Structure formats: structure tokens, C-alpha cells
Structure 1
Amino acid sequence: MFKKTGAATAGSISRLVHRERMCFFVMALGGLSLGMTEPLSAETLLSALARAYAGNPDLNQSRAAVRVRDEDMPKAAAGMRPRVNIQASAGPYYGNLRLPAGRNAMTGQRQFTQEEYTGYPRGAALNISQSIFDAGRTSNSVRQAESGVFAARATMRLTEQATLQNGATAYMNVLRDTAVVNLRKNNIAVLEEQLKQTRDRFQVGEVTRTDVAQAEASVAQARSELYAAQAQLKNSIANYRQIIGVEPMHLEPGRSLEPLLPRSLQQAIEIALVEHPGVVAALHQADAVESAVKVAESALAPTLSVNAQVSQQWDSFLGVPGSRQFAAAAFAQLNVPLYQGGSEYASIRQAKEQLSQARLNADLQRDSVRASVVSSYGLLETARASIISSRAAVKAAETALTGVREEAKVGQRTTLDVLNAQQALLNARVSLVVSQRDRVVASYAALGSIGRLSAKELQLDVALHDPGVHFEQVKTKWFGVDTPDRR
């Protein structure tokens, strides 16, 4: 009776172990389906990143910020463009004029004449002003605005890199956590079968109540770990939805970007110091501040402009009805600043200090990028080594578990030994899944650290955003309140 039960139970555990091994193989090397039994199409890592590139709100907000900065160009160029305005006025007028008229011949008292005027004076004037020389203020303002646009584009590239890297991390986190949940579910099934076998053996006096309690504790602990893994998976799914924009359904395994990386760390550092958006943005910001210094210095130089005015007035001479006046004038105006309270000198000194700060910030960005490259390459190497170690650990743990179970059948191992071996195998498999995830995520981080993580570099199937289109549309625009997209 006991041998028959034991053989059946051992057969059940063997089938569960085989199913666990196949499940782990699928999860570690294949895709994962979330909520779909027969998916019409699989979601790959690159297709998910294409979704994020096209619709991520943070990235779209950054693109809008660049378009806002583009408008600084026509604003700066306006300094050397003509200014035209019309002034008009109209309104009732009342006047009382009292004038001396000599002295009275009889009394000798002074005499006066008095007149009252009522009318409706009105008039209009056309004023035109054109700056001829502004000591380079406009040209330097244009260069400052252009550098600001380039800095904004580099900042947008930083956001693009962060979005793609966060998207890859969210994608791989869902894969990892789904695999861990499935591993823990299957582990519970194995432990429950182990508990059933232990109880059967306890009924025939083969094991003690302690063995049963140990098996029950393992099942309870496994359920607790499953609940924690499910909570982690829900959190990863929420992050995926936030970054990618849709719920994860059927995810294919992600691939590492190691083929796109420079072959050596030194090459990666050299590329990063030139191409990384953080460094590029800092250099453009320094250029913008350098132009700002020249703009501030122009306040000390003379300016020259020409002006013209044409005006027409009606009833304007003391409100006398019927009076009319026409005037036209053209003149040049030279302004030579001598002393304006010292504020212009303070502005120049302040701009020079800001330039020094911007250059120091560029040095800071270079150091930060260098450290990021070294760190990301180190994490990638660690993940690669961890995969090799974890695979060896899984293989050794499978062999150990099989041996412990066989030895337990003949009484050479206890139930606790079997449970410990099962837990060791589970831990090794979870570690392998985590290491595989870490390798993909680290490869994206490494490519981002050198400044080449972009939709173009990844060849995403999406229309690439070109910030230069909007810039060309508005940089020389003289009139109009509508944006190029007719908003």
C-alpha cells in the first residue's frame, strides 16, 4: 500500500519538475503572454519603444519646449527690423481765451478780450523707425537665441534617451516579474505535491510530524513570496503603461544592444565626451552666455536710427473748427550713452560671471558623462558574468535536487533537505531571469551613456521627429500669429 502511494506521488513530483523545467525554459528564452491565449501579434521591445517615441507625454512636452525656444530667433532678429505704428486721437475740446486789450481811457483800468472755443479736434500720425547701428546687439542676440535653440534640442535628446531607456527598463521589468510569478506559482505546485507526499508518508509512519510542519511552512512561505511577486508585477505593468502608453499583452524577449556599442571602454568615453546630449547642451549654453556678454556690452556703445513721421490734424489749433494742419518729418537720431547709473556695468560683470559658470558646468557635464560610461559598462560586464554564473548555478541546483530526492527515498536525506534544495533551485532560476533582464537594461544604459540611444540608432519603425522643420518655418517669419500647424 505504501509503495504504491509513494510511487504515484513520486511520479506526480517528477511530472511537476518536468513541467517546471519546461516552464522556466520558455520564460527564460521565449516570450511571455499577459492576458491573451492566442495573440494576433507580438509586442517586441523595439515596437514598444516606437510607441513611447511617438506618444510619450514627457517626450512630446520636451519637443514643445524646443518649438517655444525656436521663437527666440525672430524675436532677436526684430532688433534690426523697421518699426511702424499709427497714432490717432479724437475728443471734444473747450477753451476760454482771455487776452489783455490795453487800458480804459476814461478810468485807466486794464481791459481784456475773451473768446470761447468749442470743437472736436482729431488727428492721426504715421511713425516709422529703422535702426541703422546698434553696436552688434541684434546680431549677438540672434547668435544667443540660436545657441539656446541648439541647447534645447540637446536637452530634448536627453529626454528622448531617458524615455527609451525607461521604456526598455519597464519592458524588461514586466518580462522579469512575469517570469518570477510563474516560477513561484510552479514552485508552489511542486511544494504542495511535496507536502501531500510527506503527509502520506507520515500516515504510514515513515516521517515525523516535524517533516509535515516543515513542508507546510515551505508552502506558506512560497505563497507569501508569490503575493509579493504579484504586487511587483502590478507595479511594473503600471510603469509600462505610463511610459509606453498601452497595457503589456504579449511581450517577446528583449535583445541586448551590445552590437551597437563601441568595442572598448576608452572608445566609448571619447565618443561620449563629444556626442552626449548633456555635454552638447552645456556647450551650447556656454555659447549663448558668451553672446549675452556681448549683448550687455553693447549698452555702452552709441546707436543710430532714422525716423520718419507723417501727421494730419483737424480742428487741432485751439480747437478752432475748420483749422487743419499737415506735417511730415524725417530725421536721424544718434544716442551716445555717457552714464546711466552704473546698471549697464553691473549687467556686463554679471554676464561674465554667468559665462564662467556655464563653462564650469560644461566641465562638470564631461566628468559626469565619463563616470556614467564607466559605471554602465561595469554593470553590463557584471550582468554578463552573472548570466554565466546563474546558468551554472541552475544546472548544479537541478542536479542537486534530483540527487537529494533520490537519497530521501532511501532515508539518507530529510524532508528539510529536499525543501532546501528546491528553494536553492528556485533562487538560482530567479537569479538567472534577473541577470538576463539586467543585461538588456545595462546595454541600453551603456548606449545612452555615450549619447547614441535614439530612435534613429535603434532603427525604430516610426516617423523621426525633426526639430529643424519648425525652426526653418519660424526663424525668418515677419508676420502672423498662427503657429505652423495652424493652432
Structure 2
Amino acid sequence: MRRAVARRLAKVAVLSAGVVLAGMMPKQGHADNLADALIGAYNTSGLLEQNRALLRAADEDVAIAVSALRPIIDFTVRVQRALVNNQSNNLVTETRTSTFFSGFELTQLLYDGGASILAKQAAQETVLATRQSLLQVEQSILLRAVSAYMDVLLQEENVVLRQNNVRVLGEELRASQDRFEVGEVTRTDVALSESRVAAARANLADAQGALTTAKAEYVNAVGRDPGRTAGQPRLPRHPASISDAVAIAVRNHPSILSVQHQVKAADLTVDRQRAALGPTASIRADVGITNTFGNSNYNNTASAGLVFRQPVYAGGRLAATIRRAMATRDSVKASLLNTQKDVIQAVNQAYVRFETAQANLRATDERVRAAQVAFDGIREEATLGARTTLDVLTSEQELLDAQTSQIQARAERSLAAYQLLSAQGLLTAERLGLAVQIYDPTLYYNLVKGAPAQVSKRSKDLDRVLEALGKK
């Protein structure tokens, strides 16, 4: 009987050590790694599609601004009723005529103080700002994919740990029952083992539920079910210091770059509104057929003229428009300062989080080593009667807690490393070198920036691009 107890306790030792070894053994065959998760998130994100559409809309604003500098041709049908009172030598005559005009009208802006050019430049700055906003959205999507992958990996390791704990405690329970039969322990010891087994099974159920939840988040973030995970990812390059990380973020973070372009656009908008107070000059011409009602005669007519306008009074609208543009500009400038502070704070927090996780992982590694040694020793002492069942169970729980802390610390370190990458503005598909078709924001812009007409070759090229995007 004692030999049977010893064999069971030896099996407990093997199972306990197996948890640590399982995490070290290489997995066979193909498995999903972090890069697979990032690629899936990049290729299937609806949020990216939404913001790419917003960028295309901003591109079209440039085309609209360019069109204001070009001639406008309209086909016009005009019916006009004229009443003329003529007084000559105390004789008053009244003439009523009705005319019908059908033809083309042309309007060409000649001068507006540069307002239209400033509007085009502001639209171009808005495009650059929107491109950076798209990159920031991309960062958030990829960071969510990192978090989803790490959570699935963590919960899988936790389930394995809990499953092994159930097996270990099951062996402990059978060993306690054997020792009870030979009178080495009491019924209380057996009951303690039964209680721990029941608790371990409950914890395993909780871990399996957490894994199901993590997989659901993975599907949402990545666009497909997770396969067998390939383990911890390689950590990205770590900056030497917080100051280095901050310097990189200030230069590269898309949120800062976006607001900088917004400030430039707001300055140009203020200048445009001020230019609108000045005079404008344009050419107006028409050609067509004019017919006078009441007879069958018609005339082929053509006319051209120079129109000069100078705003004098508009009910206060013009001055209010300038003040509004100035207030918007001041708001955006203040937003730039806040954005810079937020980015710097995020870098500091992410850097400290990584350093803390690194130190915590080293401590948990040592904790697992010490807890394993303690468990092995207490188990051996229990076989000699120097330790109680409670001592063994308590030691096993300490080892389990240490192993749980270890896998949590490992996942936390990886997540903190990628959060720091995002805080620096470096978590993009292009910088990570992902095997995806990188979205080119200049392709659509280069097709529309010249405001091509519907009958032009450029417009046909644009139609093909839209068809390729599935938007036609």
C-alpha cells in the first residue's frame, strides 16, 4: 500500500512539472501567430474601410475647390416678362414683352483676392490630416488584434494549467484515500482533498468560459476564429529610454501630425474668409436663341460682359464668418497642445508598464522555481509522515498561483511592448512589415485632385478604381 501511495505521489510530481515543461516545448505543424492575427485584422476591418471612405471624401473636397477656378458652363432656359413705362412729351406709353431664351451660359472667375486658391490649399491640408487620422485608426485596430491574440494565448495557457491542476489534485485525492485506508491520515484529510478537487474543477470551468470570451473578441478583432496559437510573439525593439521614446512619438505619432495639418488648414480658412471681403471679377457670356411671345420671329443672340462685385453689407454675416473661422483655428491650436501632452503621457505610461511587466516576469519566474522546489520537498516529506495533507495542498496551491502569475506576467509584457509601439506611432502595417496589400492613400487622390470631367480618360480610370474597390 505504501508503494502505491509513493507511486501516486510520484505521478503528482510529474504532472506538476509538466505544466512548466509544456510551455517550453515547441509546437508541431502550422499555428496562428501574432502576425496572422494582425494580417486578419488589417484585411477585414470595417472601421478601416469606413475611414478610407472618409479619406476619399476629403480627396473630393480638393477637386471641388479646384473646380471653382474653372469656367462653369450651363444649359439655360429662361422665360422673362418685361414691363417698360416710357414718358415723352407728356405722353406715357407702356410696353409689355415676354421673351423666351434657350442656350448656354458661361461664367469664369477672374479674381477673388486668392480666396479660391486658399480654399484649395485648405482642402489639401485636410486631406493630409485625414490620412494621419486613418493611420491612427489602423494603429488602434492592430493594437486590438494584439490584445485579442494575447488574451486567447493567456486563457489557453490558463486552461491547460487548470486542467493539470485538476489532474494533480485528483492524484492527491486518490493518494489521501489510500493513506486513509492504511490509517496514515484522517477522514478530514480526505475531505480537504475532495474540497480542493471540487474547487479546481470550478476554476477550470471559469477558465474555459474566459477562453470562450477571449475567442469571441478575437473573432471580432481579427475577422475569423483563432487557430492553434503559436505561443508568445517576438517583442518589438525597445527604446533605450523614455526620452528616446517620447522623441520618436513627437516626430511620428499620427495624432500629432493630423492636428498639425488641421492647424494649417484652419489658418488658410481664416485667410480665405478675409479675402472674401474683397472684390471679385468674373466673365459672363451666353449664346442661344431668343424668341418674343406674340410673333413667330426669333433671334440668334450672343452676349458677354465683365461682372465686378464688392460686398458692402450682408447683415453682419461676413464679419461673423471671419470670427467663426478664427475661433475654430484657436480651438484646433489648443487641441494640438492637448494632443501632444496626451501622446507624451501615453508613451510614459506604456514605457513604465513594460518595465514593470519585465520586472514582474523575472520575479514570477523565480517564484515558480521556488514554489516548485517547495512543493517537491513538502510532497516528499508527506510520504515520510512529516507533513500533513493540508501542507501538500497548500504548497500545490502556491505553485499554481505562481504559475498563473507567470503566464499573466508574460502576456502583460508582450502587450505592454506593443502598446509602447503604438504610443510612439509605429504600430502600422507598413512599419511592421505585414504581408498585406498596403492601402495607398495617394492613388485615389492623384486621380481626383485635378477634378476630371466625366467624359475624360482620368474619369474612366477613376471608375475602374472604384469598381476595384467595390464602390461602383
Q: TM-score, normalised by structure 1?
A: 0.87
Q: Tell me if 1:403 matches 2:377.
A: yes
CA offset at residue 216 of structure 1?
1.2
Q: Tell me which residue corresponds to 1:77.
A: 66
Output the amino acid matched with 1:318.
F
User: Which among 126, 132, 137 is matched to residue 115 of structure 2?
Assistant: 137
Output the amino acid matched with 1:60.
E
Q: Tell me if 1:168 matches 2:142.
A: no
- CA distance change for structure 1 residues 198 and 19 in 2, over 3 Å: closer, same or farther? closer
Q: TM-score, normalised by structure 2?
A: 0.90
Corresponding residue SS for 2:453: coil
Between the aligned partners of 1:123 and 1:346, the Cα distance in structure 2 is 39
CA offset at residue 14 of structure 1?
2.1
User: Which among 254, 258, 264 is matched to residue 241 of structure 2?
Assistant: 264
CA offset at residue 262 of structure 1?
2.4
Corresponding residue SS for 1:125: strand
Q: Tell me which residue corresponds to 2:443.
A: 469
Between the aligned partners of 2:179 and 2:235, the Cα distance in structure 1 is 52
* 8 Å Cα contact 1:256-1:444 kept in structure 2: no
Q: Tell me if 1:310 matches 2:291.
A: no
Between the aligned partners of 2:308 and 2:79, the Cα distance in structure 1 is 32
1:309-329 residue CA offsets vs partner (Å, 9 max, x unmatched): 11203xx32332x21122211
CA offset at residue 136 of structure 1?
1.5
- CA distance change for structure 1 residues 178 and 347 in 2, over 3 Å: closer, same or farther? same
CA offset at residue 255 of structure 1?
2.4
Output the amino acid matched with 1:412.
A
Q: Tell me which residue corresponds to 2:273.
A: 296
1:324-344 residue CA offsets vs partner (Å, 9 max, x unmatched): 122211100000111111111
Q: Tell me if 1:24 matches 2:2.
A: no
Corresponding residue SS for 1:181: helix
CA offset at residue 305 of structure 1?
0.2
Corresponding residue SS for 2:105: strand
Between the aligned partners of 1:471 and 1:8, the Cα distance in structure 2 is 78
Between the aligned partners of 1:173 and 1:29, the Cα distance in structure 2 is 20
* 8 Å Cα contact 1:256-1:439 kept in structure 2: no
Q: Tell me if 1:331 matches 2:320.
A: no
Of 192-201 and 442-451, deviating more is 192-201
Corresponding residue SS for 2:68: helix
Between the aligned partners of 1:85 and 1:281, the Cα distance in structure 2 is 38
CA offset at residue 29 of structure 1?
6.2
Corresponding residue SS for 2:293: coil
CA offset at residue 60 of structure 1?
2.2
The within-5 A match list for 1:91-110 is: none
Q: Tell me if 1:362 matches 2:336.
A: yes
Corresponding residue SS for 2:434: coil
Between the aligned partners of 2:443 and 2:74, the Cα distance in structure 1 is 32
Between the aligned partners of 1:249 and 1:198, the Cα distance in structure 2 is 40
Between the aligned partners of 1:391 and 1:63, the Cα distance in structure 2 is 45
* 8 Å Cα contact 2:8-2:172 kept in structure 1: no
RMSD: 2.1
Between the aligned partners of 2:314 and 2:13, the Cα distance in structure 1 is 88
Q: Tell me which residue corresponds to 1:128.
A: 106
* 8 Å Cα contact 1:73-1:146 kept in structure 2: yes
User: Which among 146, 158, 162 is matched to residue 124 of structure 2?
Assistant: 146
Output the amino acid matched with 1:285.
Q
Corresponding residue SS for 1:80: coil
CA offset at residue 13 of structure 1?
3.5
Q: Tell me which residue corresponds to 1:427.
A: 401
Q: Tell me which residue corresponds to 1:51.
A: 40
Between the aligned partners of 2:366 and 2:129, the Cα distance in structure 1 is 48
Q: Tell me which residue corresponds to 1:102.
A: none
Of 7-16 and 68-77, deviating more is 7-16
Output the amino acid matched with 1:127.
E
1:338-389 residue CA offsets vs partner (Å, 9 max, x unmatched): 1111111011111111111101100000100110001001111011111111
Between the aligned partners of 1:86 and 1:79, the Cα distance in structure 2 is 18
* 8 Å Cα contact 1:28-1:179 kept in structure 2: no
* 8 Å Cα contact 2:5-2:179 kept in structure 1: no
Output the amino acid matched with 1:345.
A
Q: Tell me which residue corresponds to 1:394.
A: 368
Q: Tell me which residue corresponds to 2:92.
A: none
Structure with higher Rg: it is 1
Q: Tell me if 1:285 matches 2:262.
A: yes
Q: Tell me if 1:199 matches 2:195.
A: no
Q: Tell me which residue corresponds to 1:243.
A: 221
1:228-269 residue CA offsets vs partner (Å, 9 max, x unmatched): 11111111101111111111112112324342x322211111
Q: Tell me which residue corresponds to 2:86.
A: none
* 8 Å Cα contact 2:284-2:305 kept in structure 1: yes
Between the aligned partners of 1:12 and 1:203, the Cα distance in structure 2 is 15
Q: Tell me which residue corresponds to 1:228.
A: 206
Between the aligned partners of 1:229 and 1:296, the Cα distance in structure 2 is 62
Output the amino acid matched with 1:144.
A
Corresponding residue SS for 2:466: coil
CA offset at residue 30 of structure 1?
4.4
- CA distance change for structure 1 residues 272 and 358 in 2, over 3 Å: closer, same or farther? same
% identity of equivalent residues: 32
- CA distance change for structure 1 residues 68 and 23 in 2, over 3 Å: closer, same or farther? same
Q: Tell me if 1:485 matches 2:462.
A: no
1:406-430 residue CA offsets vs partner (Å, 9 max, x unmatched): 1112222211111111011011111
Corresponding residue SS for 1:248: coil
Between the aligned partners of 2:183 and 2:5, the Cα distance in structure 1 is 16
Between the aligned partners of 2:283 and 2:79, the Cα distance in structure 1 is 28
Q: Tell me if 1:273 matches 2:269.
A: no
Q: Tell me which residue corresponds to 1:319.
A: 294
* 8 Å Cα contact 1:87-1:126 kept in structure 2: yes
Output the amino acid matched with 1:387.
L
Between the aligned partners of 1:473 and 1:461, the Cα distance in structure 2 is 26
Output the amino acid matched with 2:209.
A
* 8 Å Cα contact 1:127-1:309 kept in structure 2: yes
* 8 Å Cα contact 1:86-1:127 kept in structure 2: yes
Of 298-307 and 261-270, deviating more is 261-270
